[in-house]
Chain A
């Protein structure tokens, strides 16, 4: 019996030694991949993982970076902040990662960034939309190590103001929004601010409260000012009702909206909606880059069609890999603090081109990227252009 135990112990120890020795630390770059691949939001996490892995595998198949393969260390945080922090600690202490792609949900991502910032770990999230992921409002600090490839809500307001000025040649605009709804107020504030920059005069600023069905009084005020465009950054049910009533009280302006407009065609008539625009972050089969991505994704994952999250996962990997290349070019050693700093620096100054857009980052490490502009034509929501 003793002999058997001794034999087993010897075997285990030998294996452990072989396991360590088998991997040369310099031959691979370890990147963590963190997100909820089980639980309620698993479909987001799985899509991000699939997208990121698709690109990393492609890079490895083409010989890796500088002859080194990228080794992905995957952990599931189940969408839970505590799990995310635990997984991140394990990745840093046990696996020795050099950078992290993750997490998927805003809450978990914010928790992770709290741990990653003090140790200077580069973090890029595909889908954390909360502003607090890259910027702590209380202490007024930007988390210089954290980046995201999805755009935050107010960015849509900015985009639509630029679109109105450049593409629609608008000189005057009106806004109607749900007061007390963070999403609507955020978009509206950003729109109004950008209008001032673009030389658009905001002639009417009308609010309504949650659950209102009657917008005719506010819309009559808007009609009286005869604006070129009306920005309605609300959710589709309200937007549909607003557009219908606006046409009744004589508003002829072009309507603009944010991604809350998706499916608006089910809530107002084709004639009333005709010619309205809204922005979104992803439209299937819209550009050549996306079509190519869809084909690659389908091949890798049993013919499945990628979602927005998969495309953003892919883009996060693209931005990170470009930054790793920059660090490798400086002949730094993966895992060291200098290497991480170089990766962060390279991401900050990135000009990577992903499937959804070309990327650069603003002072809060939020992406400056193209939005998808959707136009309503004959009752259909169709891709108009990238802007």
Chain B
């Protein structure tokens, strides 16, 4: 294998993990865009999604399609449920209270999972499988292709949803000015719940894709994954949908190349160094808009 094909392979590795980061980063970004909340429980929703796949497939013995639907629907419902129980009552409170509540929800989900499923990791069944594809001397794994394609399709659908539909218009309106949107007759509560549902459904898709590549589910798996996706969202410009995608792919590819040159031990360090650099140099991220103070 030539150096070039190794570089291409590493790039694809990066795109594969980047796809998952991007899907999760979208959830962070959408929620932040609409209620200015950093939903730190978002990573743990992925963990719940992974366990849902495991339960439907390994315990109930149902086919992968059911597992995938269970993860997506389950995550969406869980997202809305958390929003109703934990965040809605605090909508008028300072943003710090919301942030701390989100961290609390995150711990709650992790510990409940540990209580029910045990602290050890569960091995995921095979969700998708297919032959590896060879392009010249570059080896493309079936899982990598599926992951990247599914992520791109999800993002395309999301973009259409936000830009072309009535609900999307409502989301953008609430994000711009909640009070004014309400005056225009938009149901703010419904719109926020819908945003949580979509963001969490994306996390469900992320959970399925993550489980294909790393077939183990553990109670704390969402922690680091969520943090990296958060860095991706900040890098892309938090609140921006294309920004989250770009940020996710960038972090994934960066990690792949850091590991490839033998610095795998520094992988996480590099990701968080990016967060610090972005916050120092361009806090609004790559695609972020300048926020003008409303007078």
| Chain A positions near chain B (C-beta within 8 angstroms) | 179, 206-209, 211-214, 216-218, 220-221, 223-226, 237, 240-241, 244-245, 247-250, 266-269
* Contact string against A for B residues 1-42, beta-carbon threshold 8 Å, 1 for contact and 0 otherwise: 100011001100110110000000000000000000000000
**Which residues of the other chain, A, contact B224 by a CB distance below 8 angstroms?**
211
A-B contact list, 26 entries, CB within 8 Å: A207-B262, A208-B264, A208-B265, A213-B216, A216-B13, A217-B14, A217-B255, A217-B259, A220-B9, A220-B10, A220-B13, A224-B6, A237-B121, A237-B216, A240-B215, A240-B216, A241-B215, A245-B213, A247-B132, A248-B141, A248-B144, A249-B9, A250-B132, A266-B123, A268-B215, A269-B126
Given contacts A209-B265, A218-B264, A220-B6, contact A248 B121 (CB under 8 A): no
The contact of B13 among A211, A247, A249, by CB within 8 Å, is A249
Distance between Cα atoms of A223 and B132 in the complex (Å): 13
List the 5 shortest-distance A-B pairs measured between CB atoms, nearest first. A250-B139, A217-B259, A248-B141, A224-B1, A216-B13
B1 pairs with A217, CB closer than 8 A: no
Contact A213–B255 (Cβ < 8 Å) = no
Whether B143 sits at the interface, judged by CB under 8 Å, is yes
- From the candidates B134, B213, B259, name the one contacting A218 in the complex (CB within 8 A): B259
Q: Which residues of chain B from 219 to 235 have any CB-CB distance to chain A below 8 Å in the complex?
A: 221, 224
The residues in B between 55 and 96 inclusive whose CB is less than 8 angstroms from any CB of A are none
B121 touches A244 (CB 8 A): no
Given contacts A216-B17, A226-B1, A245-B214, 8 further A-B contacts (CB under 8 A): A208-B264, A217-B14, A217-B264, A218-B259, A221-B6, A224-B9, A244-B215, A266-B123
Q: Are A213 and B13 in contact (CB under 8 A)?
A: no
Bound Cα distance A226, B13 (Å): 18
The number of chain B residues with a CB under 8 A from chain A is 35
Name the B residues within 8 Å of A244 (CB-CB).
215
Q: Is B194 an interface residue (CB 8 A)?
A: no
With most chain A CB atoms within 10 A of its CB, the pick from B5, B144, B216 is: B216
CA distance in complex: A151, B142 (Å): 42
A217 close to B257 (CB less than 8 A): yes
Closest-CB distance, B173 to chain A (whole angstroms): 39
**Residue among A206, A220, A225, A269 with the highest chain B CB neighbour number at 10 A:** A220
Chain B residues within 8 Å of A226, by CB: 1
CB of A207 within 8 A of CB of B264, answer yes
What distance in Å separates the Cβ of B26 from its nearest Cβ neighbour in chain A? 20
Residue of A with least CB distance to B120: A237
Minimum CB distance partner of B212 in chain A? A248
Question: Is B256 among interface residues, defined by CB-CB distance under 8 A?
Answer: yes
Residues of chain B within 8 A of A208, CB atoms compared: 259, 264-265
Q: Are A214 and B144 in contact (CB under 8 A)?
A: no
The yes or no answer to B260 lying at the interface (CB within 8 A) is: yes
What distance in Å separates the Cβ of A268 from its nearest Cβ neighbour in chain B?
8
B264 touches A209 (CB 8 A): yes
Q: Mark B253-291, 1 if CB is under 8 A from A, else 0.
A: 001111110101101000000000000000000000000
How many angstroms between the C-alpha atoms of A179 and B142 in the bound complex?
30
Of A217, A250, A266, A267, which contacts B260 at CB under 8 A?
A217
Known: A220-B13, A223-B9. A241 touches B264 (CB 8 A): no
The answer for the CA separation of A221 and B7 in the assembled complex, in Å, is 9
Q: Once the chains are docked, how many angstroms separate the CA of A303 from the CA of B134?
A: 56
Complexed CA–CA distance, A241 and B258 (Å): 20
Cα distance, A269 to B262, chains bound together (Å)? 28
**In the assembled complex, which residues on chain A have CB atoms less than 8 Å from the CB atom of B121?**
237
Q: In the complex, which residue of chain A has the Cβ closest to the Cβ of B6?
A: A224
Q: In whole angstroms, what is the CA distance A226 to B265 when docked? A: 24
- For B214, what are the chain A residues with a Cβ–Cβ distance below 8 Å? 213-214, 241, 245
